Chains A and B, each alone.
Chain A
Amino acid sequence: MKRLLLVLATLLVTAALAAGHNSTKFTFGFPTFAAVFTNIDNVEFFTGNNGTAGKLSGKAVANTNYYAATEGGITQCIDEFLNNQSTPISFDISQTGNSKLSGATCYFAPNSVTKNNLFKVTGYGQNAGPDGELLVITNANTFNIGSQLTGGSVPNSGTLEVYPGYLSGAQLQSNNSNSANWKDLSMNHASSGNNVNPIFTKSDAYNTQYSNAYVIPLLFRYSLDVLSASTINSNNQIQVTVTWDAAVQ
């Protein structure tokens, strides 16, 4: 197909020039193209078929700091949190801004990631399989990938986050490791529903073996404020859409 397009383009340009058409009509300014691809269909947390709580599977099983994305997993997380606190903390549901609660978070890996294909761009030295990838192809000097979460109401206690890279098993087990690089996909930073955090730019992307092609590995997680964890259960149906915005500014 690529070869066919090239031949067709060459023929068209040649024909136009031969006919004395204004050649500037065929001049595209730099950059000339941009593209965004993904291999991810959907990412699920706390899900199961027809209301049955989902089972944790895949890589996340080995990550002891990630709990089963089930109601039981939530209970386990909360129990461990409460039991392991060396300093008793005071829970006041009205004080959501209470700094004492800043560590009261459980992290969940997806219990299911549906990819179109298990193919991964190789050669990046990854130690943990990512949940999927974005692939940006452009001959621009710079590009932006943003995100926007719409279509569903993620409980206030939960935050969808994404990490643009590969993490080793040890890094995954340490939830605080690289925490600054986890990007919040939720709406809770802007009333408009747009993420105001910087998302990804060319500097977040890995080069590929192809010129002008860059890959952004993605890891998803769901962080949960344990104070409000009861708002999550697998009988709710919450479907959200992450729009990946790709722009060459």
Chain B
Amino acid sequence: MAPLLGGALFAFAQVPEPPPGYRGLLIAPPRYELTLAKGDRVRKEFAILAKGYGDAVTAEVAVLDWGENAEGGLIPLAPGANPYSAARWIKVALDPLSLKPDEPVAVPFEVAVPEGAPLEGSYWAAITFATKPAPVKNRRGVAVVNRLRIWGVVYVTIAGTERPDAAIQAFDLDPGKEALLLDVVNKGNVYLRLHPSLVFRDARGKAVKSQKLAERVLLRDGLIRYRIPLKDVPKEAVVASVEVEAKGLVAPLYAEVALK
């Protein structure tokens, strides 16, 4: 553990107090997006705070590989299962943390990008902090205990090798015509933060409704699927168009579909 940065303290000070009876972990910041050259070595830190516990709580520390499914849900992966893993570049003390309630601690870590390896584009991993639930004793049957694990996500992009590219693979009505399906695939070598905007137009081309969709991260080799329920769409809308922006793309991605 290390002295806590003022930034982390300031971040924690912005966090509203959880209701009585709730307990859990806070992290500041929740992610790092690093652009480094081969051979670079940087030190960063996550600050962790336990709240709502009556006594000190133990948090287990781990470095985790992860991926995502098409809906954007994150999936912990077995070590080595992510071909773009940054886990092996991260050095952090894996000793369990003893967290006293409301006393933040800093967890320093180092990211060391190897020099000789043929690297290009983005890599990622996470440092996780997990509570250790108390076992249920003297009970039989199925007992489910709850454990909280908060992630400190680390992205590393190799400077000067970025090749952002993506494409809309599909934009269509679902079979039941209850939703629009938008599939975006990554064709480059860096992760992208997708910001799609949807516009519904009438027969004369006039926009009758527009909406922004939630940001999602599109990993390397990944596919993200948005399912957009067709609720509250004006009757006069005959066409839906989508524009997907992401930092690094030469131009926004565009597609449209007839609704009727």
Contacts and interface: CB of A to CB of B under 8 A. Distances in A.
On whether the two chains bind one another, the answer is yes
B175 to A, nearest CB: 15
A154 B22 contact: no
B248 interface: no
Contacts of B26: 33-35, 137
Nearest to A21: B6
Nearest to B9: A9
Contacts of B134: 41
A33 B11 CA distance: 6
A115 B145 CA distance: 11
B29 A29 contact: yes
Contacts of A249: 31, 68, 72, 74, 153, 216-217
Interface string B111-149: 000000000000000101010011110111111111111
Given A34-B27, A249-B74, A238 B149 contact: no
A141 to B, nearest CB: 5
A237 B139 contact: yes
A236 B141 CA distance: 5
Contacts of B214: 141-142, 201-203
Given A35-B15, A213-B16, A244 B31 contact: no
A1 interface: yes
Contacts of B8: 28
Contact of B16 (A32, A40, A212, A222): A212
B21 A115 contact: yes
B151 A240 contact: no
Contact of A237 (B51, B102, B140): B140
A100 to B, nearest CB: 24
B149 A243 contact: yes
Nearest to B139: A47
B30 interface: yes
B2 interface: no
A168 B218 CA distance: 37
B149 A6 contact: no
Nearest to B68: A249
A145 to B, nearest CB: 9
Contacts of B149: 243-246
Contacts of A133: 22
Contact of B11 (A32, A148, A197, A232): A32
A236 B140 contact: yes
Interface string B60-93: 0000001011011111111001000000000000
Contacts of B5: 25-26
Interface in B1-27: 5-27
Contacts of A198: 69, 71-73
Contacts of B73: 144, 146, 196-199, 201
Given A32-B28, A141-B214, A246 B150 contact: yes
A119 B104 CA distance: 25
A39 B153 CA distance: 25
Nearest to B8: A28
B145 A117 contact: no
Contacts of B216: 142, 249
Most buried by B among A2, A32, A160: A32
B215 interface: yes
Contacts of B145: 41-42, 239-242
A63 interface: no
A117 B22 contact: yes
A51 interface: yes
Interface of A: 1-2, 5-6, 8-10, 12-13, 16, 25-29, 31-51, 53-54, 69, 115-119, 121, 133, 135, 137-142, 144, 146, 148, 152, 154, 158, 160, 192, 194-199, 201-203, 210-213, 220, 222, 232, 234-249
7 contacts: A2-B13, A28-B8, A32-B14, A34-B28, A199-B73, A201-B214, A232-B142
- 9 closest A-B pairs by beta carbon, nearest first, are A117-B21, A37-B24, A47-B141, A198-B71, A46-B141, A12-B6, A34-B30, A247-B151, A9-B9
Interface of B: 5-33, 49, 51-52, 66, 68-69, 71-78, 81, 102, 104, 126, 128, 130, 133-136, 138-151, 153, 214-217
